[in-house]
């Protein structure tokens, strides 16, 4: 500091201050005593600048960390405008508007009071092998084929109501919400038609085939694609809201509840994704699965080709580095450095049937979980504990997910047969040959059952 008359000049910024001031009025630097040597003054100024720089860098790093945590946990999707409708594929008695009956994918209509006799009421020709199972709502049953045509039939007698042929094979089970019917196509499109006349309402293009049956909840359509992404679209307009990337193709239909979208990808993971954030909550390792997850209450149920069925609590979060820590513990177990394999997050129970391979999605009712195996056996487990309850043996390999209708479980086989099993005892009630080859899908209607066969047949069973 130098003195000029009755003022002091700051050694940092050169501002002239009144004599006796301790801090510079221009830069708030502490003024040095006149007796300090110039070298000491410069050293103190540089130290002060370094402290300021460190504090500034620290503040920036803290801000970046807070921003990262906010984006990862809050998600930019939360700030999107509301969907333009409240369209939802709601299960109702006499209706099966989407694969699995509802966006929960539980494959169950336990409140149905009718016991089926297993008799074929009518048959209809789709003209080609179906791209998936049928859906039914308000007296109309719909099914699409690999020839690109989707058909609507009357449930009363199977009379055709309308048909619409598009340029690419239909590759998923359709879904109905409100006045629209949605489905995936082999050319990567998700298409919405007016279900009264089949006219096109909108299309959305993914980068690979869409074999995932769409789920529609609160105005948002969710569907996976072989381009490894889960898409969330506005159900009324088809506009993309967000997408979520996985490491494997997605061919199963998403299961959706009030908070989560649950999808099984061919990266051998069940992904738990926040509906309102588009962010991952956690994931769960499985073997390859050809069905969807089913959500019932506080749990998710899933089966895979290793013969394993499991129950996982979905209300979990994965903390930073938690997954990496578990991976290290897994390697320690494999190398004999740990005595036990660390449990996966959220697991409640796991059951494995040796030399079996489960196909499709488990069915879940109020008391039991049902899974069908490619070897021709249907298994029932206690919903809460996973205890084995019964096994029922079919006369052919199971080809569809089990479907609960009232107090019976119906499964289609690879030989074109439908079989009904008592849900409480596992006793076979009836078997019906519908002709042709494998059954590809089953839907429950009012006092009836509908099934599609690979030969192009659509049948009603009463």
Q: What is the pTM of this model?
A: 0.83
Looking at residue 217, which CATH number applies to its domain?
A: 2.130.10.10
Q: Do the Cβ atoms of 442 and 133 come closer than 8 Å?
A: yes
One domain for residues 45 and 101: no
One domain for residues 46 and 155: no
Give the position of tokens 């309850």: 389
Sheet of 215-217, strand order: 215-217, 220-224, 229-234, 240-245
Encoded tokens for 36:
């300090």
Q: Which of 51, 73, 95 is the last residue of a domain?
A: 73
- What is the bridge-based pairing of β-strands 377-382 and 388-393? antiparallel
One domain for residues 202 and 56: no
Separation between Cα atoms, residue 13 and residue 170, nearest integer Å:
74
Closest CA relative to residue 130, chosen from 462, 461, 457, 460: 457
Encoded tokens for 388:
């084995």
3-class DSSP state for residue 424?
Answer: coil
One domain for residues 68 and 98: no
* pLDDT, position 4: 46
329: buried, middle or exposed (CB in 10 Å: 19+, 13-18, 0-12)? middle
Domain range holding 60?
A: 2-73
One domain for residues 69 and 90: no
3-class DSSP state for residue 23?
Answer: strand
CB atoms within 10 A of CB 49: 12
Separation between Cα atoms, residue 84 and residue 177, nearest integer Å:
14
One domain for residues 309 and 391: yes
Per-state percent for the chain, helix, strand, coil, to nearest 5: 10, 40, 45
CB atoms within 10 A of CB 47: 10
* pLDDT, position 176: 97
* pLDDT, position 1: 43
Give phi and psi for 58, each to the nearest 5. -60, -40
One domain for residues 54 and 180: no
* pLDDT, position 34: 47
Per-10-residue mean pLDDT, the chain, length 462: 57 77 80 58 72 82 69 62 93 88 93 80 94 95 96 96 96 97 97 96 97 97 97 98 96 96 96 93 91 96 96 83 67 71 84 95 96 96 97 93 94 94 96 87 90 94 92
Per-residue burial over 349-370, b if 16 or more Cβ lie within 10 Å, else e, is bebebeebbbbbbbbbbeebbb
Q: Look at the chain and count its residues.
A: 462
One domain for residues 36 and 105: no
Separation between Cα atoms, residue 115 and residue 68, nearest integer Å:
56
* pLDDT, position 8: 73
Q: Which residues contact 95 (CB under 8 A, 6 or more apart)?
A: 136, 137, 138, 445, 446
Q: Which of 28, 56, 73 is the last residue of a domain?
A: 73
One domain for residues 123 and 57: no
3-class DSSP state for residue 60?
Answer: helix
* pLDDT, position 3: 44
Q: Do the Cβ atoms of 351 and 288 come closer than 8 Å?
A: no
Separation between Cα atoms, residue 303 and residue 283, nearest integer Å:
15
One domain for residues 64 and 210: no
Separation between Cα atoms, residue 144 and residue 132, nearest integer Å:
7
One domain for residues 216 and 246: yes
Number of domains present in the structure of the chain: 2
Encoded tokens for 186:
């082999």
Q: Which of 73, 98, 120 is the last residue of a domain?
A: 73
One domain for residues 67 and 178: no
Q: Which residues contact 302 (CB under 8 A, 6 or more apart)?
A: 264, 270, 286, 289, 291, 292, 293, 294, 309, 310, 312, 361, 362
């Amino acid at each position: 500091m130098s003195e000029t008359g009755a003022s002091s000049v700051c050694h940092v910024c050169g501002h002239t201050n009144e004599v006796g001031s301790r801090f510079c009025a221009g830069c708030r630097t502490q003024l040095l005593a006149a007796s300090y040597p110039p070298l000491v003054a410069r050293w103190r100024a540089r130290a002060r600048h370094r402290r300021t720089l460190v504090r500034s860098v620290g503040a920036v790093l803290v801000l970046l960390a807070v921003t990262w945590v906010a984006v990862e946990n809050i998600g930019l999707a939360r700030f999107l405008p509301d969907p333009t409708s409240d369209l939802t594929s709601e299960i109702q008695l006499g209706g099966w508007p989407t694969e699995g009956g509802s966006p929960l994918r539980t494959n169950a209509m336990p409140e149905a009071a009718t016991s089926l006799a297993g008799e074929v009421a009518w048959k209809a020709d789709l003209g080609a092998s179906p791209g998936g199972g049928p859906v039914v709502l308000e007296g109309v049953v719909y099914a699409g084929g690999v020839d690109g045509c989707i058909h609507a039939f009357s449930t009363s007698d199977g009379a055709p109501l309308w048909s619409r042929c598009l340029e690419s094979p239909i590759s998923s089970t359709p879904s109905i919400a409100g006045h629209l019917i949605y489905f995936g196509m082999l050319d990567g499109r998700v298409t919405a038609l007016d279900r009264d006349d089949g006219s096109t309402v909108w299309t959305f293009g993914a980068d690979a085939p869409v074999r995932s049956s769409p789920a529609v909840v609160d105005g948002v359509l969710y569907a996976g694609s072989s381009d490894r992404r889960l898409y969330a679209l506005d159900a009324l307009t088809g506009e993309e809201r967000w997408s979520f990337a996985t490491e494997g193709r997605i061919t199963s239909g998403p299961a959706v509840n009030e908070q989560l979208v649950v999808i099984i990808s061919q990266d051998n993971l069940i992904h738990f994704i926040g509906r309102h954030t588009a962010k991952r909550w956690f994931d769960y390792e499985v073997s390859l699965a050809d069905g969807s997850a089913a959500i019932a209450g506080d749990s998710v149920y899933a089966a895979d080709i290793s013969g394993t069925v499991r129950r996982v609590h979905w209300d979990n979060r994965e903390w930073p580095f938690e997954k990496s820590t578990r991976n290290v513990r897994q390697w320690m177990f494999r190398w004999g450095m740990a005595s036990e394999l660390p449990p996966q997050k959220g697991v409640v129970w796991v059951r494995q049937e040796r030399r079996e391979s489960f196909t499709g999605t488990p069915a879940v009712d109020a008391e039991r979980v049902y899974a069908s195996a490619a070897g021709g056996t249907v298994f029932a487990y206690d919903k809460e504990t996973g205890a084995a309850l019964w096994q029922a043996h079919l006369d052919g390999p199971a080809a569809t997910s089990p479907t609960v209708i009232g107090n019976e479980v119906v499964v289609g086989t690879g030989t074109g047969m439908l079989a009904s099993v008592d849900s409480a005892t596992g006793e076979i009630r009836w078997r019906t040959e519908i002709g042709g080859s494998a059954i590809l899908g089953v839907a429950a209607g009012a006092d009836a059952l509908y099934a599609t066969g690979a030969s192009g047949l659509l049948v009603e069973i009463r």
